[in-house]
Chains A and B, each alone.
Chain A
Amino acid sequence: MTQPPRPAPTRRRALATFGAAGAAVLLGDVARMAHAQGAGPLKLGFQVHRTGIGAAYGRWYERVATAAVARINDAGGIAGRQVRMIAEDDGTDPRRGAEVLDRFANLHGADLVFGPLFSNVVIGSAPRAAELKMPYFVVSEGHHVASGTLNRYTLQPGITDVKSQVRSVAPYVAANIGRKVTMIFPDFAFGHDHREFFTDAIAAQGGEVIAQIPVPPTETSFTRYFPRIPRETEVLYHVMVGPAVLTFVREMGEFFGGRGPALFGFIDSLEAVDIASPGLEFLEGSHLWEGMPRFAQPDQTGHDARYRAAVGVDDTGASIDDPRDVSTYAHMFGVWETLSVIKAGMETAGYRGPSDRPALIEAVEAMTDMPLSDDHPQGDKLFNGRTHQVFGRQSVSRVEGGRLIRVHETSIEDTLYEDEVDYTTRPF
């Protein structure tokens, strides 16, 4: 059923040097002496999309999680205890997702669960997490956390949500690309977030969504959807997920034959896809949202460089071992940052065992500013404990010469919106 993660010795070596760096080790040793009480390792359950439509993300999420856990352990673990990651495949399936939570709670005795991306899995699993009283750290981008549909045990401290992403980039789209927009998006919760929030956001900028075209996420052929794009469309807003994203983009190019509307897409349509693939030349000059720039930018930070080395990704966003293996760079930093938050939260809460789970959640809820650092290589963040959602900067990149060049970065303030829930008032 499952396959073991691929070994990547070079990454490990990179990690060894990275993790061994200076003060972290020293601090870790102090912490270890203070807290080592014969307790076993902390068990972090990793709910991963190894198979199903999320497999491309799952592979990279797992590599990042492995690298982040190795880094934490090299620096002395969490409050002096080593961390053991237990991965279980959810098949990108909501029902399996809930079963996986049961396995983590009852079979593995996990302290918490983290890691899922696909919104259908998150929405299907979160109620079970609350029943099991299991802290559930999702890396999903869906607005379902901040909207209040989920529960006190579900948090999203490592990646921003769709609502803040689309609201913050809408002014750029309206000012620089066009105002009459047709949207094409996957027909499930994640795509519906795009539909709702971008339609409102572009209207607030004086623009208009003139057509909305939903596509099932399991679709394999897309030409049949494109004729519904109205001719007066100025901007085609595209976001697609699933194994067929390359086909989607290629057929879009075939359909327009170089004469279509301007394109603004979410990088999801091209995650794990080489932007220089044959048939994608038409993307030149088009714009894409990125959560974190895939190509190392001229103003690259040292944090980004060290993070790339640790997860085994080169300056073009591909695997160091295989340049054809392109990462899901715009999303996977969320796993790394989530693990940083888990470590900080557990250490603040003085976490010792499952009875301290409410204390862990309260410790994370109390967090606010997360500065740019090796723990947060994507950039500085602002966490809202009431809505369990983190906020951060967004990038708009332009395809130039087969590379993604950042042309705009939003502020954190651009991404904020009014609270829709206060989870801290809900009982544990």
Chain B
Amino acid sequence: MEFGPHLMLALLEGAVTSAVLALTAMGLSLVFGVMRVVNVAHGAFFMLGAVAAWWIADLVGAHPALGFAAALLAAPLLVGAGAMLADRLILAPVGYDPERTIVATIGLMYVIEQTVLMGFGPDARPVAPPFDARIALPWVERTAEGLALYWPWGLSITAYKLFVIAAAAAILAGLWALMTRTGAGLVMRATQQDRDMARAFGVPVSRVFARVFGLGAALAAMGAVLVVPIQQAHYLMGGDPLLLSFIVVIIGGLGSLPGTVVAALLIGMTDGIVSVFLSPTLAKIVATLAVALVLVFRPQGLMGRARA
């Protein structure tokens, strides 16, 4: 493939990865920022979202678009509700202690994975995309008569992948509005800044925690619902999103939402370009190396504030 179309394809693939990653990592970052909980079960919530999407789409059974729309609405709600329950049953009783919550969420991850394995089975299952037009993209080339348009092999994107990028952007804009323009967001930010002071001002911190944990899991589930028409639901699919989300959140600055978006773009695009031009394994190596460098030279992350 020539360099130009190749790069274009890499950027498009990178944009899709970034979009889904931004959603997933945002959930992780939000939970850490507000609750100081390192949620190792985040990838399991992602997987649960994908499996729920398959289940709902299969249940609705009508036109793929209808099933998908139902899944996009209901799957995050279901997963969010499950996460709130987990917060009440598991995280609250251990008092949100940082070390104990890590162990607790590791356990939660295994419980979710094995439950899905027993109920849903070990197979990968597809969800039909709501629309599936392939859009071939042209490229210019220099010919004897000057510049001319041509359609290179493989330079294309599907309408659905464009929709994923747009939907992720819209959900992130909605999240930004929620955090900065509503009372609920104000309460969350207050809890993030100073938990004890917020409680003193009458903020129901434990209820905020439950909602934040639910919202974080719902964001992962939304990312999963968007990705499942491209990738299929499978009980082990949570591993990669978990790793990449941690990478993004560490690079962006733990708890910094703008930092998370910037880092998701950075990692998603690098992943797209490195994996298309060189190899996907190398892309993971580069991302992990970036984390190491950030931890050494800027431990608070690109946009995080240094803490005393």
Interface residues of A (CB under 8 A from B): 1, 3, 50-52, 55-56, 58-59, 216, 219-221, 223-229, 231, 243-244, 246-247, 254-257, 259-260, 272, 277-279
Contact = CB atoms under 8 A, between A and B. Distances in A.
Contact of A278 (B6, B123, B128, B275): B128
Interface of B: 1, 6, 9-10, 13, 114, 117-118, 121-124, 126, 128, 132, 134, 136, 153-154, 156, 158, 230-232, 234, 236-237, 240, 272, 275-276, 280-281
Given A50-B122, A231-B1, A243-B122, 4 more contacts: A58-B122, A220-B237, A254-B134, A279-B132
B231 A220 contact: yes
11 contacts: A51-B117, A55-B121, A216-B281, A220-B237, A220-B240, A224-B10, A227-B154, A243-B123, A243-B234, A247-B126, A259-B153
Contacts, number: 87
Contact of A227 (B9, B122, B240): B9
B231 A227 contact: no
Most chain A CB within a 10 A radius of its CB, from B114, B126, B132:
B126
Given A216-B281, A226-B154, A254-B134, A3 B117 contact: yes
B153 A260 contact: yes
A221 B272 CA distance: 11
Given A231-B153, A257-B136, A224 B124 contact: no
Prevailing SS type, chain A contact patch: loop
Nearest to A218: B236
A286 B272 CA distance: 30
B211 to A, nearest CB: 31
A216 B280 contact: yes
A279 B131 CA distance: 11
A384 B292 CA distance: 54
A247 B232 contact: yes
B123 A56 contact: yes
A227 B1 contact: yes
Contact of A244 (B128, B232, B272): B232
B231 A221 contact: yes
Contacts of B13: 223-224
B124 A246 contact: yes
A312 B240 CA distance: 37
A225 B126 CA distance: 21
A259 B275 CA distance: 24
Contacts of B280: 216, 219, 224-225
A228 B10 CA distance: 12
Prevailing SS type, chain B contact patch: mixed
Contacts of A56: 122-123
A254 B276 contact: no
A1 B114 contact: yes
Nearest to B152: A231
Given A221-B230, A244-B232, A257-B136, A277 B154 contact: no
Most chain B CB within a 10 A radius of its CB, from A3, A216, A227, A229:
A227
A256 B155 CA distance: 8
3 tightest A-B CB contacts, nearest first: A55-B122, A243-B124, A227-B1
A51 B122 contact: yes
A244 B236 CA distance: 12
Nearest to B280: A224
B177 to A, nearest CB: 31
Most chain B CB within a 10 A radius of its CB, from A51, A220, A246:
A220
Nearest to B231: A220
Given A55-B122, A220-B240, A227-B1, A247 B154 contact: no
B118 A246 contact: no
A3 B118 contact: yes
A256 B240 contact: no
Nearest to B271: A224
A80 to B, nearest CB: 37
Nearest to A219: B280
Contacts of B10: 224, 227
A254 B159 CA distance: 11
A360 B199 CA distance: 76
Nearest to B12: A223
B126 A246 contact: yes
B126 to A, nearest CB: 6
Nearest to B157: A254
Most chain B CB within a 10 A radius of its CB, from A50, A256, A257, A277:
A257
Contacts of B123: 55-56, 59, 243, 272
Given A257-B134, A278-B132, A224 B276 contact: yes
A227 B152 CA distance: 11
B209 to A, nearest CB: 32
B276 A227 contact: yes
B278 to A, nearest CB: 10
A221 B244 CA distance: 15
Nearest to A187: B281
Most chain A CB within a 10 A radius of its CB, from B9, B154, B275:
B154
Nearest to A51: B122
B158 A277 contact: no
Most chain B CB within a 10 A radius of its CB, from A219, A224, A255, A260:
A224
A254 B126 contact: no
Contacts of A278: 128, 132
A157 to B, nearest CB: 28
A254 B232 contact: no
A279 B189 CA distance: 45
A260 B272 CA distance: 22
Nearest to A277: B126
Contact of A3 (B121, B240, B276): B121
Contacts of A257: 134, 136, 154, 156
Contacts of B158: 254
Contacts of B124: 243-244, 246-247
B156 A255 contact: yes
A172 B126 CA distance: 34
B154 A244 contact: no
